[in-house]
């Protein structure tokens, strides 16, 4: 007998979403009911209203050119969902392979699966679903290799990403304590932030904050 599973898919490209849905429907051991949304705000609303989902599959780069959404990135969605529903299985299906993002999503948010998009990734996704539903974890080989290689590196947390976001938007360091406190961060004095920026510059081998922000943007550290 087929198992019934409810899935919420967050993907802003319709062709990619269709490919995922079609591949999942080919799995004979499950009867999937799949809801698809193209932004994180809509995903959070659905999950907040419906606690019967078994799995969330999300990209990390969702409508990244837009600035009209409350939840800007897939990882921000994951953080909010983790607080909302501890039982929901979480899977990332993304092209992002930057060490800092992988560390945030896998080691800090603690998702159940992270699959890198690629030529055979849909088959990999289909393969790992039974493992996830049996309370196992699954990560693409490159994800595992990258995390092992950088396991002793600096962890880029949500505070770091917000510091970099504000600097990217043109704010000065002395304006950040108030902006960060308004987002709920504590102990964000200017001296604390300057110390954190020093560590970030050393980690990314940046000569100054301008170069640091440029590197972070290139590596999608704060864009997700």
Number of structural domains in the chain: 2
Decide if 214 is inside a domain.
Answer: yes
Please give the torsion angle defined by the CA atoms of residues 121, 55, 136 and 60, in that order, rounded to the nearest 10 degrees. Answer: 50
* Residue 181 sits in the same domain as residue 94: no
Decide if 38 is inside a domain.
Answer: yes
- pLDDT for 127 equals 96
pLDDT band per the 50, 70, 90 thresholds, residue 153: low
Is residue 162's pLDDT more than 50?
yes
Question: What single DSSP character describes residue 9?
Answer: E
pLDDT tens column, 2-25: 899 999 999 999 999 999 999 999
pLDDT band per the 50, 70, 90 thresholds, residue 79: very high
Decide if 124 is inside a domain.
Answer: yes
Domain ends where: 149, 170, 197? 149
**How crowded is the C-beta side of 16, counted as CA atoms within 13 Å?**
19
* Residue 194 sits in the same domain as residue 115: no
- Kindly give, in sequence order, each residue whose CB lies less than 8 Å from that of residue 19, ignoring residues fewer than 6 positions away: 122
Scored b (16 or more CB within 10 A) or e, 82-114 reads eeeeeebbbbbbbebbbbbbbbbbbebbebbbb
* Residue 132 sits in the same domain as residue 170: no
| Residue 62, domain CATH | 3.40.50.2300
For residues 44 and 76, the answer to whether their CB atoms sit within 8 Å is: no
Report the alpha-carbon distance of residue 136 to residue 36 in Å, rounded.
24
* Residue 22 sits in the same domain as residue 99: yes
* Residue 11 sits in the same domain as residue 34: yes
Span 208-215, mean pLDDT?
Answer: 90
Mean pLDDT for the chain? 89
* Residue 101 sits in the same domain as residue 120: yes
* Residue 94 sits in the same domain as residue 134: yes
* Residue 135 sits in the same domain as residue 163: no
Is residue 198's pLDDT more than 70?
yes
pLDDT tens column, 166-189: 998 899 999 999 999 998 888 789
Domain ends where: 90, 115, 149? 149
- pLDDT for 224 equals 44
Instruction: Give the chain's count of helices (H) and strands (E).
Output: 10, 6
* Residue 119 sits in the same domain as residue 137: yes
Domain ends where: 120, 149, 178? 149
* Residue 131 sits in the same domain as residue 164: no
Report the alpha-carbon distance of residue 42 to residue 31 in Å, rounded.
24
Report the alpha-carbon distance of residue 170 to residue 30 in Å, rounded.
49
* Residue 141 sits in the same domain as residue 178: no
Nearest alpha-carbon partner for 203 in 148, 145, 164: 164
Q: Where is 141: in which H helix or E strand?
A: helix 141-149
Decide if 224 is inside a domain.
Answer: no
Nearest alpha-carbon partner for 157 in 61, 78, 222, 91: 222
Decide if 204 is inside a domain.
Answer: yes
Scored b (16 or more CB within 10 A) or e, 118-151 reads eeebbebbeebbeebbeeeebbbeebeebbeeee
pLDDT tens column, 117-149: 999 999 999 999 999 999 999 999 999 998 887
For residues 10 and 43, the answer to whether their CB atoms sit within 8 Å is: yes
Is residue 199's pLDDT more than 90?
no
For residues 121 and 93, the answer to whether their CB atoms sit within 8 Å is: yes
Decide if 223 is inside a domain.
Answer: no
Decide if 27 is inside a domain.
Answer: yes
Decide if 110 is inside a domain.
Answer: yes
* Residue 56 sits in the same domain as residue 108: yes
Q: Return the higher-pLDDT residue of 153 and 191.
A: 191
| 170: containing domain | 158-218
pLDDT tens column, 39-74: 999 999 999 887 899 999 999 988 766 668 899 889
- pLDDT for 222 equals 64
CB atoms within 10 A of CB 9: 22
């Amino acid at each position: 007998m087929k198992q019934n599973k409810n899935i919420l898919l967050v993907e802003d490209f319709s062709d990619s979403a269709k490919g995922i849905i079609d591949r999942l429907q080919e799995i004979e051991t499950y009867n999937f009911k799949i809801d698809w949304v193209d932004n994180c705000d809509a995903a959070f609303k659905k999950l907040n209203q419906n606690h019967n989902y078994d799995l969330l599959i999300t990209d990390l780069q969702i409508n990244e050119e837009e600035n009209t959404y409350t939840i800007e990135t897939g990882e921000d969605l994951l953080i909010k969902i983790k607080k909302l529903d501890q039982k929901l299985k979480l899977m990332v299906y993304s092209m992002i392979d930057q060490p800092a993002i992988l560390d945030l999503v896998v080691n800090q948010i603690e998702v159940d699966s992270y699959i890198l998009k690629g030529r055979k990734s849909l088959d990999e996704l289909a393969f790992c679903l039974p493992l996830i539903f049996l309370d196992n974890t699954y990560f693409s080989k490159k994800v595992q290799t990258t995390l092992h290689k950088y396991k002793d590196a600096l962890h880029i947390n949500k505070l770091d990403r917000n510091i970099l976001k504000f600097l990217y938007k043109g704010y000065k360091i002395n304006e950040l304590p108030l902006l960060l406190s308004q987002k709920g961060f504590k102990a964000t004095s200017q001296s604390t932030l300057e110390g954190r920026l020093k560590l970030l510059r050393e980690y990314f081998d940046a000569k100054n904050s301008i170069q640091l922000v440029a590197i972070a943007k290139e590596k999608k550290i704060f864009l997700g």
